[in-house]
Amino acid sequence: MPGEAMLRVGNVMDEAAMESVRDALDRLGVDYEHLRSEPDDDRFPQTAFFYVPDDSAEDVERALAVSPGNTASTPRYFEGRKEVLGIVEG
Q: For residue 4, what pLDDT is reported?
A: 86
Q: For residue 81, what pLDDT is reported?
A: 47
* pLDDT 10s digits, 19-64: 888 988 998 899 999 999 999 888 898 989 999 998 888 888 777 7
8 A C-beta contact, residue 30 and residue 60: yes
Q: For residue 32, what pLDDT is reported?
A: 93
Confidence bin at 79 (pLDDT 50/70/90): very low
Q: What are phi and psi of 40, to 5 degrees?
A: -165, 175
Residue boundaries of the structural domains of the chain: 4-81
8 A C-beta contact, residue 50 and residue 86: no
Confidence bin at 3 (pLDDT 50/70/90): confident
Phi-psi region of 61 (alpha: psi -120 to 50; beta: other; left: phi over 0): alpha
24 alpha carbon, distance to own chain's centre: 11
Q: What is the fold of 4-81?
A: Alpha-Beta Plaits (3.30.70)
Residue ranges of alpha helices (H) inside 1-89 are 15-28, 57-65
pTM of the model: 0.70
